[in-house]
Amino acid sequence: MVDNICYGGLFMKIAGIQKLSLVDYPGKTCCTVFTAGCDLRCPFCHNASLVTHIEDDPLPEAEVMDFLKRRVGLLQAVTISGGEPLLQSGVEQFAASVKEMGYLVKLDTNGTFPDKLKALVGSGVIDFVAMDIKNSRRKYAVTSGVKNLDLKPIEESVEFLKSGAVPYEFRTTVVREFHTAEDFAEIAEWLGDVPAYYLQQFVNSGDLIDGGVRGYDAAEMKTLLEEVKKYIPNARLRGVA
């Protein structure tokens, strides 16, 4: 195993990098950096190896930062994803260094670390946050794969983003074994009329914690969306084939 590499005072366990994405930052060309490790165990996680194989050799931060330096002017943004990036001790320093290069910075998070989220946004190094909403509150624990999950931190993160401190979106990956129309009515009522909420069609990446889960088809996704739109008129589908 290679220990975390220090690059200019940064400490991040980077498990992978997607050098070009047209979908991970709204309206921008971006690079997506994937961090290792997560505090949840969602059965349908499409990056399961980032969650369950955190001891695998990480990418050296110096290599990632050098790549980003070479892409200044060609890419517009960097998305920090995972896993759960807020587990990383050096995420703020990493985001600050990326922002100093002139990139917009987006954070993907599950919302379980509201204090870290607030501090990161407050430091001015994050331009956009995407927070996963796993399910209705009554089914959050089973959907996240954590039996005794404390929902209060997640609710705190939701309320913080709704305060308007940073541009944001909420999103839910829709899985047949976990989500029903009733669940989405409860989610939508919980979130309220937020500016951006996406129902993402589940696609089996081949890298799942539970390979037996399935998605809904396009027609079914549209039906679920109509339930959500009763509460969130701006809700949209994402990734529907």
54-113 pLDDT tens trace: 556 788 888 999 999 999 999 999 999 988 999 999 999 999 999 999 999 999 999 999
Q: What tokens were used for 125?
A: 């190094």
Residue for token pair 């081949």: 206
pTM for the whole structure: 0.92
pLDDT at 212: 81
pLDDT at 51: 72
| Biggest distance spanned by C-alpha atoms of the chain | 50
CB 99 within 8 A of CB 121: no
Q: Is 23 helix (H, G, I), strand (E, B) or coil?
A: strand
User: Which is higher by pLDDT, 48 or 151?
Assistant: 151
Average pLDDT of 1-28?
74
Q: Is 241 helix (H, G, I), strand (E, B) or coil?
A: coil
One-letter identity of residue 218: A
Q: How far apart are the first and last CA of the chain?
A: 39
Q: What tokens were used for 226?
A: 């109509």
Q: Is 21 helix (H, G, I), strand (E, B) or coil?
A: strand
pLDDT at 99: 96
| Measured distance CA(47)–CA(133) in Å, rounded | 16
Of 123, 84, 90, residue with least CA distance to 107: 84
83 prior amide bond cis, ω within 30: yes
